[in-house]
């Protein structure tokens, strides 16, 4: 890349030097390393970062009072507060876990064989409690398919 050259005469550089220059160029374009990785941080870490910044602003304001027990750090001694702040599952259902052993599976006919999309299927999702499958494709259509054992019948075409 011409943008990574230090002089016009450079023709060949080592791979590690190229990687270093590419990283420096990317960081410079992103205006700092912290902005570069915000999209990759988990939501919980972003929330903690934001709440920590809010706490610092509260402490910086004259006359502001901190509420006891409102510490947002991970070391908080309030287990109920930590539980309410997290988005992790509270209960683990044992029937959701696969048992040890061998899984047996076989190829079945396509669920959407009766009414196929005019393009590729871009997403599909099973209903959590009913025997329904929803598919959507690049043809901008969503289809609900009722699954009955080994057979699938087309329910709707939107």
Domain coordinates of the chain in residue numbers?
10-65, 105-158
> pLDDT band for position 66 (50/70/90)?
very low
Q: Which residue did the predictor score with more confidence, 73 or 39?
A: 39
32: helix, strand or coil: coil
> pLDDT band for position 41 (50/70/90)?
low
Beta carbons of 80 and 99 less than 8 angstroms apart? no
Report the predicted TM-score, pTM, of the whole model to 2 decimal places.
0.33
Range with the largest mean pLDDT of 1-15, 33-47, 68-82: 1-15
Which residues have a Cβ under 8 Å from the Cβ of 146 and sit 6 or more positions away? 131, 132, 133, 152, 153, 154, 155
Q: What digits encode the pLDDT tens for the residues 48-64? A: 656 665 555 555 555 54
**Residue 44 Cα distances to 2, 41, 85, 86, angstroms:** 40, 8, 9, 7
Strands (E), the chain: 121-126, 132-137, 142-148, 151-157
Beta carbons of 150 and 110 less than 8 angstroms apart? no
> pLDDT band for position 69 (50/70/90)?
very low
> Which pLDDT belongs to residue 26?
79
């Amino acid at each position: 890349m011409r943008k990574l050259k230090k002089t016009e005469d450079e023709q060949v550089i080592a791979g590690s030097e190229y990687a270093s220059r590419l990283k420096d160029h990317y960081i410079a374009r992103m205006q700092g390393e912290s902005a570069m990785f915000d999209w990759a941080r988990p939501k919980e870490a972003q929330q903690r970062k934001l709440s920590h910044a809010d706490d610092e602003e509260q402490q910086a304001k004259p006359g502001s009072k901190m509420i006891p027990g409102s510490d947002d750090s991970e070391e908080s001694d309030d287990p109920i507060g930590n539980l309410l702040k997290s988005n992790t599952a509270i209960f683990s259902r044992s029937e959701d876990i696969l048992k040890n052993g061998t899984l047996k599976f076989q190829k079945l006919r396509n669920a959407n064989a009766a009414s196929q999309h005019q393009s590729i299927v871009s997403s599909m999702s099973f209903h959590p409690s009913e025997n329904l499958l929803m598919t959507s494709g690049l043809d901008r259509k969503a289809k609900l398919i009722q699954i009955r054992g080994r057979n699938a019948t087309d329910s709707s075409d939107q």
